[in-house]
C-alpha cells in the first residue's frame, strides 16, 4: 500500500481562520489515521498579499493545537525546501517542459490589452477568460519577442473536450474544457502561480491525498490536465464543504470573521476549538456516532473521510459555547483555577481566595472572558436596586426580605467559626426555626452580599469568600436599602 502523505500549504496572508485550521486538521487526521506523514509547506508566491508576522501565526497555531508536522520549513525533510519562493528555480523548468509538450505557451499580452479584453467581456456580459491571443504564435515570433526582452507569462493550454476527476467527498465530476481559462502558470516576475506551484510541489513531495476547500473544485480539472500532460500520478482529492457564518455568507478571513486567534481571545480553550472545528462538516460513524467530545488522539482513532459531508456547515456559536463549557468541566479544579486566575484578577484585586472563586465558576462557566463580569462584586458592592430582592419564584418581597435580613444579621454576628459549613448549619437552622422555604432566607442574602440577581454560587458560598466583616457590612447595607 502506498504511504499516505498529506500537506497543509497555507499562504502567510494574515490570521488563521477556522476554515484554514479545519483543512490543516483534516490533512493531519488523514495522515495520522493511516500511519502516514503530515507536511507543512508555505505557499508565498503571492508576495503582494503577504502580512508581516503571518508565518509565526501559522507555526504557533499549529503547535498550540497539537497539529505537529513531520516535515516543514523549520525542521526540514527529504523533499525540501518547503517554502515556495525558495523553490522558484524549479517551476520554470517544468513550465518549459509543458511548452515542449504543447500543453503550455508563452503569452506576451500587456496589461492594457488584458484590461481592454476584460472591459469587452463585462460589457458583453460574458464570463471573462483569456481569449488565446498568443496561443498560435509561430516559433519565429516567439524567439523574436524573447530576444527583444518583451515581458511574458507562461499559460496553460487547455485542450478541447472534457475533463473528469474523482473526489472522495463529491464523487465523479465532469467539466467541459470550453469553460476553463488558459490560466497563468508562470508570472512575469518568474514566480509560479498557486495553481501551478501546488501541482509541481505535490508531485515532487509525493503527496498522496490533497485536502482543501470545496472552492478549489472548479480548479481541479486544470490540475488534472497538468498531471496528465506531465504523465504524473494524480493524488486522491478530498474537497471539504465551506464553513458558513449563516445560510448565505461564508466565513471569510478578508471580512474579519472568526479566526483561531479571535476565538482564543474570546476565552475559548484551544482543545474545544479544535474539537468543534473537527465537527464542522464531519461526523464519526458507528458506535461513536453520538459522541461530540473528542481529544486529538481520539479523533485520529475515529476519523474517516466518508464522515465528511458535502453540505456547507454553519458556524454555531452556541454549540461552540456548550462544547467549551464541557472542556471547562473536565478540567481538574487546580487546572481551572490557574486558567481562570488572570480573568478573576481583572475584577478581583483584593485578598479574596481565587481558588474558592474558581470553584464556584467552574460548574457554571462557558467562556473564560465571561468571568470578570461575574465576579466584579467581590472587591466592592455595586449600587443596586432594592427591587432585586423581589423574586416571584422564591416568593420573596421587599417586606419579607427585610424581615429575613434582620433575622440573618444576629445569626452571622454570633457565629464562632466563619466557614461554609458553619454558615450552612447556622442559616439552615434559622430557616427551620422560621418555618419558611429556603429561598425566603437565602435569596435576600445573595442579593445583599452581591448586589446582583445572577452570581456564581449562592449566598452561603459568597459569604464564606467575602469573610465575616464584609458580609455583615453588606447585610446591614441591604437592611438600610429596604428600610
> Annotated binding site for ATP: which residue ranges?
253
Handedness of CA 16, 20, 21, 24 (dihedral sign): negative
Q: Which helix (H) or strand (E) holds 313?
A: strand 313-314
Using alpha carbons, select from 45, 2, 5, 32 the residue that is nearest to residue 203: 5
Buried b (16+ CB within 10 A) or exposed e, 117-143: beeeeeeeeeeebbeeebeebeeeebe
CA dist list (Å): 262 to 18, 51, 257, 394, 440: 10, 17, 9, 40, 43
User: What's the CA gap between 452 and 383, in Å, rounded?
Assistant: 10
Q: Determine contact, residues 329/362, Cβ cutoff 8 Å.
A: yes
Q: Rounded to 5 degrees, what angle do the CA atoms 28, 249, 172 make?
A: 55
Cell 517542459 locates to 97
Helix locations, 69-110, DSSP H:
88-101
Q: Tell me the three cell numbers of residue 112.
A: 492594457
Beta strands (DSSP E) in 177-273 are 184-186, 209-213, 236-240, 243-244
Catalytic residue among 129, 145, 250, 253: 253
Q: Which residues are annotated as a binding site?
A: 253
Q: Determine contact, residues 71/40, Cβ cutoff 8 Å.
A: yes
Q: 3-class SS at 162?
A: strand
Handedness of CA 344, 457, 268, 244 (dihedral sign): negative
User: What's the CA gap between 427 and 420, in Å, rounded?
Assistant: 10
Q: 3-class SS at 280?
A: coil
Q: Determine contact, residues 200/94, Cβ cutoff 8 Å.
A: yes
Q: Please state whether the peptide bond connecting residue 352 to the residue before it is cis, i.e. omega within 30 degrees of 0.
A: no
Q: Determine contact, residues 14/262, Cβ cutoff 8 Å.
A: no
Is 437 a known active-site residue?
no
Bridge partner residues of 7 (DSSP): 39
Q: How far apart are the first and last CA of the chain?
A: 83
CA dist list (Å): 379 to 331, 348, 349, 362, 372: 27, 6, 7, 20, 12
What is the set of active-site residues?
A: 253
Amino acid at each position: 500500500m502506498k504511504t499516505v502523505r498529506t500537506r497543509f500549504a497555507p499562504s502567510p496572508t494574515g490570521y488563521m481562520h477556522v476554515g484554514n485550521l479545519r483543512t490543516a486538521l483534516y490533512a493531519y487526521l488523514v495522515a495520522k489515521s493511516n500511519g502516514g506523514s503530515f507536511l507543512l509547506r508555505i505557499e508565498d508566491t503571492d508576495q503582494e498579499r503577504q502580512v508581516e508576522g503571518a508565518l509565526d501565526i501559522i507555526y504557533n497555531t499549529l503547535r498550540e493545537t497539537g497539529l505537529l508536522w513531520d516535515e516543514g520549513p523549520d525542521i526540514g525533510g527529504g523533499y525540501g525546501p518547503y517554502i515556495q519562493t525558495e523553490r522558484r528555480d524549479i517551476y520554470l523548468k517544468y513550465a518549459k517542459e509543458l511548452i515542449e509538450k504543447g500543453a503550455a505557451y508563452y503569452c506576451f499580452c500587456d496589461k492594457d490589452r488584458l484590461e481592454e479584453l476584460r472591459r469587452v467581456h463585462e460589457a458583453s456580459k460574458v464570463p471573462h477568460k483569456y481569449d488565446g491571443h498568443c496561443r498560435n504564435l509561430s516559433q519565429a515570433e516567439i524567439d523574436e519577442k524573447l530576444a527583444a526582452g518583451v515581458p511574458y507569462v507562461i499559460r496553460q493550454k487547455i485542450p478541447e473536450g472534457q475533463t473528469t476527476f474523482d473526489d472522495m467527498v463529491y464523487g465523479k465530476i465532469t467539466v467541459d474544457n470550453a469553460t476553463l481559462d488558459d490560466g497563468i502558470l508562470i508570472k512575469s516576475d518568474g514566480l509560479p502561480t498557486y495553481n501551478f506551484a501546488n501541482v509541481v510541489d505535490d508531485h515532487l513531495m509525493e503527496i498522496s491525498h490533497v485536502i482543501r476547500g470545496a472552492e478549489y473544485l472548479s480548479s481541479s480539472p486544470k490540475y488534472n490536465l497538468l498531471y496528465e500532460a506531465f504523465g504524473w500520478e494524480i493524488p486522491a482529492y478530498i474537497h471539504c464543504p465551506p464553513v458558513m457564518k449563516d445560510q448565505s455568507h461564508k466565513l471569510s478571513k478578508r471580512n474579519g470573521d472568526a479566526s483561531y486567534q479571535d476565538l482564543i481571545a474570546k476565552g475559548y480553550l484551544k482543545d474545544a476549538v479544535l474539537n468543534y472545528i473537527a465537527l464542522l462538516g464531519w461526523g464519526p460513524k458507528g458506535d461513536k456516532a453520538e459522541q461530540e467530545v473528542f481529544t486529538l488522539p481520539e479523533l485520529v482513532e475515529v476519523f474517516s473521510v466518508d464522515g465528511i459531508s458535502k453540505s456547507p456547515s454553519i458556524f454555531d456559536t452556541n454549540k461552540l459555547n456548550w462544547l467549551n463549557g464541557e472542556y471547562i468541566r473536565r478540567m481538574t479544579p487546580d487546572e481551572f483555577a490557574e486558567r481562570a486566575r488572570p480573568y478573576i484578577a481583572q475584577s478581583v484585586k483584593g485578598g479574596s481566595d481565587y481558588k474558592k472563586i474558581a470553584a464556584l465558576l467552574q460548574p457554571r462557566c462557558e467562556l473564560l472572558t465571561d468571568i470578570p463580569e461575574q465576579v466584579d462584586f467581590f472587591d466592592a458592592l455595586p449600587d443596586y436596586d432594592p427591587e432585586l430582592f423581589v423574586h416571584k419564584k422564591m416568593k420573596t418581597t421587599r417586606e419579607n426580605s427585610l424581615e429575613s435580613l434582620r433575622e440573618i444579621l444576629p445569626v452571622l454576628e454570633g457565629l464562632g467559626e466563619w466557614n461554609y459549613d458553619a454558615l450552612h448549619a447556622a442559616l439552615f437552622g434559622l430557616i427551620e426555626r422560621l418555618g419558611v422555604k429556603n429561598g425566603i432566607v437565602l435569596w435576600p442574602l445573595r442579593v445583599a452580599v452581591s448586589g446582583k440577581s445572577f452570581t456564581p454560587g449562592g449566598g452561603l458560598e459568597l459569604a464564606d469568600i467575602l469573610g465575616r466583616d464584609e458580609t455583615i457590612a453588606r447585610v446591614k447595607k441591604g437592611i438600610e436599602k429596604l428600610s
